[in-house]
Amino acid sequence: MNHSFTVDTSRPFTSVKEVVAIFGKKLLTSKLYSSPKPFSNPKQWNFSPTKTQESDEEEQKTLAETLNRLELELKETKTKLKLLKERESETEVALASLNAKLYKNMSKMARVEAVAAENVAAEAVARMRSARREEEVKKRDMIVRIEEDKPTLAQILSIVLLQFAIFLPFLLYMMKYVQVRTEQKKVAEVQDEA
């Protein structure tokens, strides 16, 4: 048994009339619908030229049934196509509506963000002004305290004398130490010379 197949790569048929014109009524009624064998090369197909009136009527009946079934399928397909087109237009309207809402919400968000940014900037400016005012107040307070606490000349002299009094004994000790060291060096030099 030979199970080889050939694939028909010719262009598809555009109508039933074209099929009938090319292959004849016999192929459509008996060979195409009743034969479970795969198609082979169309040139090898045998068509019997002898037809009886009964077989001709049967073929016409089968052909009419096939045409009716194809017409019904075509109507169903057209109905489905119409429904799909309606759904497509509904989907387009819904998508356009969603896009409009999206852009509207995006513009609202942009406005809210702009207001928030303005508020943050205003708060930063207010904090800087407040910090400057606090520094100015501190400077004024310091100046006032310095002016209030200005020592008089007598106070300065008494502080200097007090410090001198504390420092005087140390100064006298250091002077005595330097004097003793100088005398020791002189004695050492005299002894070295002798």
Q: How far apart are CA 93 and CA 90, in angstroms?
A: 5
* pLDDT at site 30: 53
- pLDDT one-digit tens code per residue, 152-169: 777 777 777 777 777 788
Comparing 15-19, 24-28, 30-34, 70-74, the range with the smallest average pLDDT is: 30-34
The most confident of 88-97, 113-122, 133-142, by mean pLDDT:
88-97
User: pLDDT band for position 87 (50/70/90)?
Assistant: very high
Tokens representing 38 are: 């795969």
Looking at the predicted structure, is the pLDDT value of residue 77 above 90? yes
Q: Is there a contact between 16 and 70 (Cβ–Cβ < 8 Å)?
A: yes
Q: How confident is the model at residue 44 (pLDDT cuts 50, 70, 90)?
A: low
- What is the mean predicted confidence (pLDDT) over 33-55? 54
